[in-house]
A and B are shown apart, each in its own frame.
Chain A
Protein backbone atom coordinates (compact mmCIF):
# COMPACT_ATOMS: atom_id res chain seq x y z
CA UNK A 1 0.00 0.00 0.00
CA UNK A 2 0.98 3.65 0.07
CA UNK A 3 0.48 6.61 2.34
CA UNK A 4 -1.11 9.78 1.02
CA UNK A 5 -0.61 13.04 2.88
CA UNK A 6 -3.36 15.50 2.12
CA UNK A 7 -3.49 19.11 3.21
CA UNK A 8 -5.08 21.20 4.45
CA UNK A 9 -7.19 18.92 6.63
CA UNK A 10 -9.83 21.62 6.93
CA UNK A 11 -10.44 25.22 5.97
CA UNK A 12 -13.08 27.88 6.18
CA UNK A 13 -13.10 30.11 3.13
CA UNK A 14 -14.91 33.18 1.93
CA UNK A 15 -17.16 32.86 -1.09
CA UNK A 16 -15.54 33.94 -4.32
CA UNK A 17 -12.06 32.81 -3.25
CA UNK A 18 -10.13 29.70 -4.27
CA UNK A 19 -8.52 26.91 -2.29
CA UNK A 20 -5.84 24.50 -3.46
CA UNK A 21 -5.67 21.05 -1.89
CA UNK A 22 -2.48 19.05 -2.15
CA UNK A 23 -1.83 15.32 -2.04
CA UNK A 24 1.60 13.78 -1.72
CA UNK A 25 2.07 10.02 -2.06
CA UNK A 26 5.04 8.26 -0.50
CA UNK A 27 5.54 6.08 -3.59
CA UNK A 28 4.69 6.19 -7.27
CA UNK A 29 1.11 5.40 -8.17
CA UNK A 30 -0.40 4.89 -11.58
CA UNK A 31 -3.76 6.40 -10.86
CA UNK A 32 -4.83 9.37 -8.78
CA UNK A 33 -8.40 10.47 -8.30
CA UNK A 34 -10.21 13.35 -6.66
CA UNK A 35 -13.54 12.80 -4.92
CA UNK A 36 -16.13 14.89 -3.17
CA UNK A 37 -18.21 13.54 -0.32
CA UNK A 38 -21.22 15.31 1.11
CA UNK A 39 -22.08 14.51 4.74
CA UNK A 40 -23.77 11.12 5.01
CA UNK A 41 -23.31 10.33 1.35
CA UNK A 42 -20.95 8.26 -0.70
CA UNK A 43 -18.03 9.42 -2.77
CA UNK A 44 -18.56 11.30 -6.02
CA UNK A 45 -15.68 11.19 -8.48
CA UNK A 46 -14.65 14.65 -9.65
CA UNK A 47 -11.84 13.67 -11.99
CA UNK A 48 -8.94 11.39 -12.73
CA UNK A 49 -5.63 13.20 -12.43
CA UNK A 50 -3.39 12.28 -15.35
CA UNK A 51 0.33 12.72 -15.09
CA UNK A 52 1.62 15.36 -17.48
CA UNK A 53 -1.72 16.01 -19.18
CA UNK A 54 -5.16 17.43 -18.53
CA UNK A 55 -7.34 15.65 -16.01
CA UNK A 56 -10.35 13.64 -17.10
CA UNK A 57 -13.48 15.14 -15.58
CA UNK A 58 -16.73 13.42 -14.74
CA UNK A 59 -20.09 14.72 -15.83
CA UNK A 60 -21.01 17.83 -13.89
CA UNK A 61 -17.43 18.87 -13.14
CA UNK A 62 -15.38 21.24 -15.29
CA UNK A 63 -11.77 22.29 -15.40
CA UNK A 64 -12.48 25.98 -14.87
CA UNK A 65 -14.13 25.22 -11.55
CA UNK A 66 -11.83 22.38 -10.43
CA UNK A 67 -8.42 22.74 -12.06
CA UNK A 68 -6.17 19.79 -11.31
CA UNK A 69 -2.45 19.36 -11.68
CA UNK A 70 -0.37 16.21 -11.59
CA UNK A 71 3.23 17.02 -12.45
CA UNK A 72 4.58 13.60 -11.47
CA UNK A 73 3.53 10.18 -10.18
CA UNK A 74 3.55 11.15 -6.51
CA UNK A 75 1.86 14.56 -6.34
CA UNK A 76 -1.42 16.18 -7.34
CA UNK A 77 -3.41 19.29 -6.51
CA UNK A 78 -7.08 20.16 -6.78
CA UNK A 79 -8.20 23.79 -6.76
CA UNK A 80 -11.76 24.70 -5.89
CA UNK A 81 -12.26 28.02 -7.69
CA UNK A 82 -14.64 30.89 -7.11
CA UNK A 83 -16.16 29.06 -4.16
CA UNK A 84 -19.77 29.23 -3.09
CA UNK A 85 -21.46 27.66 -0.04
CA UNK A 86 -22.55 24.76 -2.27
CA UNK A 87 -18.89 23.75 -2.52
CA UNK A 88 -18.80 23.00 1.21
CA UNK A 89 -17.91 19.33 1.39
CA UNK A 90 -15.16 16.86 2.12
CA UNK A 91 -12.64 16.48 -0.68
CA UNK A 92 -10.60 13.29 -0.88
CA UNK A 93 -7.71 12.25 -3.06
CA UNK A 94 -7.09 8.61 -3.80
CA UNK A 95 -4.24 6.71 -5.37
CA UNK A 96 -3.80 3.26 -6.77
CA UNK A 97 -1.87 1.05 -9.10
CA UNK A 98 -3.58 -0.89 -11.85
CA UNK A 99 -1.98 -4.07 -10.60
CA UNK A 100 -2.92 -3.38 -7.00
CA UNK A 101 -5.94 -4.65 -5.16
CA UNK A 102 -6.36 -1.53 -3.13
CA UNK A 103 -7.11 2.14 -3.50
CA UNK A 104 -5.81 4.26 -0.63
CA UNK A 105 -6.99 7.63 0.47
CA UNK A 106 -5.68 10.87 1.82
CA UNK A 107 -7.10 12.04 5.11
CA UNK A 108 -9.58 14.35 3.41
CA UNK A 109 -10.09 18.11 3.42
CA UNK A 110 -13.19 19.44 5.12
CA UNK A 111 -14.08 22.66 3.32
CA UNK A 112 -16.61 25.17 4.60
CA UNK A 113 -17.48 28.15 2.44
CA UNK A 114 -19.10 31.11 4.19
Chain B
Protein backbone atom coordinates (compact mmCIF):
# COMPACT_ATOMS: atom_id res chain seq x y z
CA UNK B 1 0.00 0.00 0.00
CA UNK B 2 0.92 3.64 -0.12
CA UNK B 3 1.95 5.38 3.04
CA UNK B 4 3.19 8.77 4.13
CA UNK B 5 4.34 9.36 7.70
CA UNK B 6 4.92 12.65 9.47
CA UNK B 7 4.77 13.61 13.13
CA UNK B 8 1.36 14.51 14.45
CA UNK B 9 2.37 17.60 16.35
CA UNK B 10 5.44 19.71 17.03
CA UNK B 11 6.10 22.72 19.23
CA UNK B 12 8.71 25.40 18.63
CA UNK B 13 9.62 28.86 19.88
CA UNK B 14 9.18 32.10 17.99
CA UNK B 15 12.42 33.03 16.20
CA UNK B 16 13.77 29.48 16.30
CA UNK B 17 14.16 26.82 13.58
CA UNK B 18 12.03 23.70 13.20
CA UNK B 19 12.36 20.68 10.91
CA UNK B 20 9.30 18.64 9.98
CA UNK B 21 10.11 15.19 8.60
CA UNK B 22 8.17 13.12 6.10
CA UNK B 23 8.82 9.55 4.98
CA UNK B 24 6.94 7.91 2.16
CA UNK B 25 6.29 4.63 0.36
CA UNK B 26 4.33 5.08 -2.83
CA UNK B 27 3.74 3.39 -6.17
CA UNK B 28 5.88 5.59 -8.33
CA UNK B 29 7.15 9.07 -7.66
CA UNK B 30 6.46 12.27 -9.54
CA UNK B 31 7.38 14.82 -6.96
CA UNK B 32 6.85 15.68 -3.32
CA UNK B 33 4.89 18.67 -2.11
CA UNK B 34 4.62 20.57 1.12
CA UNK B 35 1.46 22.52 1.90
CA UNK B 36 0.52 24.81 4.75
CA UNK B 37 -3.00 24.75 6.11
CA UNK B 38 -4.34 27.15 8.67
CA UNK B 39 -7.35 26.01 10.65
CA UNK B 40 -10.55 26.34 8.65
CA UNK B 41 -8.74 27.21 5.42
CA UNK B 42 -7.71 25.32 2.29
CA UNK B 43 -4.12 24.12 1.91
CA UNK B 44 -1.69 26.50 0.24
CA UNK B 45 1.36 25.41 -1.71
CA UNK B 46 4.78 25.85 -0.09
CA UNK B 47 7.32 23.81 -2.01
CA UNK B 48 7.97 21.09 -4.53
CA UNK B 49 10.89 18.66 -4.83
CA UNK B 50 11.40 16.14 -7.60
CA UNK B 51 15.21 15.83 -7.56
CA UNK B 52 17.39 15.06 -4.56
CA UNK B 53 18.63 18.02 -2.63
CA UNK B 54 17.54 21.20 -0.97
CA UNK B 55 15.13 23.79 -2.35
CA UNK B 56 15.20 27.13 -0.57
CA UNK B 57 12.40 29.68 -0.62
CA UNK B 58 12.89 32.50 1.81
CA UNK B 59 12.40 31.26 5.36
CA UNK B 60 11.26 27.85 4.13
CA UNK B 61 13.44 25.10 2.69
CA UNK B 62 12.56 21.58 1.63
CA UNK B 63 14.87 18.62 1.21
CA UNK B 64 14.38 15.36 -0.65
CA UNK B 65 16.19 12.03 -0.72
CA UNK B 66 14.43 9.70 -3.16
CA UNK B 67 16.62 6.72 -2.29
CA UNK B 68 15.57 7.01 1.35
CA UNK B 69 11.95 7.97 0.68
CA UNK B 70 12.50 10.97 2.92
CA UNK B 71 11.85 14.68 2.93
CA UNK B 72 11.89 17.48 5.43
CA UNK B 73 10.53 21.00 5.60
CA UNK B 74 12.75 23.47 7.41
CA UNK B 75 11.24 26.66 8.78
CA UNK B 76 13.59 29.39 9.99
CA UNK B 77 12.99 32.53 12.03
CA UNK B 78 9.66 31.21 13.15
CA UNK B 79 6.78 33.64 13.44
CA UNK B 80 3.51 33.22 15.28
CA UNK B 81 1.68 33.16 11.94
CA UNK B 82 3.57 29.96 11.08
CA UNK B 83 1.33 28.11 13.53
CA UNK B 84 -0.54 25.80 11.17
CA UNK B 85 -0.67 22.24 9.91
CA UNK B 86 1.96 21.22 7.39
CA UNK B 87 0.99 18.54 4.91
CA UNK B 88 3.41 16.36 3.00
CA UNK B 89 2.08 14.89 -0.25
CA UNK B 90 3.63 12.67 -2.91
CA UNK B 91 2.45 12.53 -6.51
CA UNK B 92 2.40 8.91 -7.57
CA UNK B 93 2.71 7.26 -10.96
CA UNK B 94 -0.94 8.10 -11.72
CA UNK B 95 -0.31 11.77 -10.91
CA UNK B 96 -2.53 11.50 -7.87
CA UNK B 97 -1.46 13.22 -4.68
CA UNK B 98 -1.07 10.90 -1.72
CA UNK B 99 -1.37 12.93 1.47
CA UNK B 100 0.20 12.56 4.87
CA UNK B 101 -1.94 13.19 7.94
CA UNK B 102 -0.27 16.53 8.53
CA UNK B 103 1.90 17.94 11.29
CA UNK B 104 0.34 20.51 13.57
CA UNK B 105 3.00 23.10 14.40
CA UNK B 106 2.50 25.16 17.53
CA UNK B 107 4.63 28.28 17.91
CA UNK B 108 5.13 29.64 21.42
CA UNK B 109 6.34 33.15 22.22
Instruction: State the A residues within 8 Å of B (CB).
Output: 1, 31, 33, 40-45, 48, 92, 94, 96, 98, 101-108, 110
Contact = CB atoms under 8 A, between A and B. Distances in A.
A94 to B, nearest CB: 8
B45 A103 contact: yes
- DSSP class of A's interface residues: helix, strand, loop or mixed? strand
Nearest to B94: A48
Contact of B42 (A33, A42, A92): A92
B31 A42 contact: no
Interface residues of B, number: 20
Main secondary structure, interface of B, reads loop
B43 A105 contact: yes
B95 A31 contact: yes
B41 A108 contact: yes
Contacts of B27: none
Given A101-B31, A101-B50, A103-B33, A42 B99 contact: yes
The 3 closest A-B pairs by CB, nearest first: A105-B42, A101-B48, A42-B101
B45 A102 contact: yes
